[in-house]
Homo-oligomer: A and B are copies of this chain.
């Protein structure tokens, strides 16, 4: 690893901005610029865009190739989309420029689940160019997958892995409250689910990542998306939910081996959730139950794990890797 790792941020939405702001505080990182196609962002000084109180002399540009050529970064943080096909072309461009990738793209956490052929191509290209590509985040990337694998390390045997993430959406950003359908009628919710507008992306990837780590080949994966109906009125800064309307979503993903559900992931995100928490249980020897009371804050933690993963990704062997392949991603002051 060189003394300082140079990094640029591609996609300067809330998560990209928070990660970039954090990276500026790390002495072993050198932030060299940002990329965003939003004309309101491109052309600004990165410091102005991030609101860090000073100009950085670093340009935000809409042109990824130019940014790569001008900054020659060791690592590129890509936070432009949740779906693998959305980021695939960008990843190709970054890899061909010889830079490593840390991305918050949900499906990149385990792209073999949905896109085995393209994942193989990406892996080959990364190996050819000697760079490493990893998708991470809090969910997927940590609470429902890597955390389960981490605790499997103290098990002699694992029969089944279950994880619950229960989020009180009232404490989160407006886009999240909208994404989970808070305030909709049950009919509107069903229509929104069918249109693909209400769904957490990455549950499937978490299930397959857990299975891959444990050496299990899933023979089937099933997912359901149901509304959580408000049993009393709930109001947040952004939305009012009358009794009988939708407070949010309950999404359940199940991975099967030979007809047996062996990975069960339950994600509940709704306004007014009582006792929000993250839980992993392992039916194994010894049995393990782990709880994070209150749950891990999605935005704070995703920005953190992205930045904390940078030195691990820069040091890792080349290829398309996953969180299970990296040395322990921990904070380094």
Contacts and interface: CB of A to CB of B under 8 A. Distances in A.
Interface of A: 22, 138, 142, 146-147, 149-150, 152-158, 213-216, 284-286, 288-294, 296-297, 300-301, 303-305, 307-309, 323-333
A213 B327 contact: no
A328 B146 contact: yes
Count of identical protomers in the assembly: 2
A155 B25 CA distance: 13
A330 B158 CA distance: 11
A330 B22 contact: no
B288 A290 contact: no
A289 B285 contact: no
A295 to B, nearest CB: 10
Contact of A286 (B153, B284, B300): B300
A327 B330 contact: no
B215 A156 contact: no
A297 to B, nearest CB: 4
Contact of A156 (B149, B216, B304): B304
Contacts of A297: 286
11 contacts: A22-B156, A149-B330, A150-B330, A152-B331, A153-B331, A155-B331, A214-B330, A215-B333, A284-B331, A286-B297, A326-B327
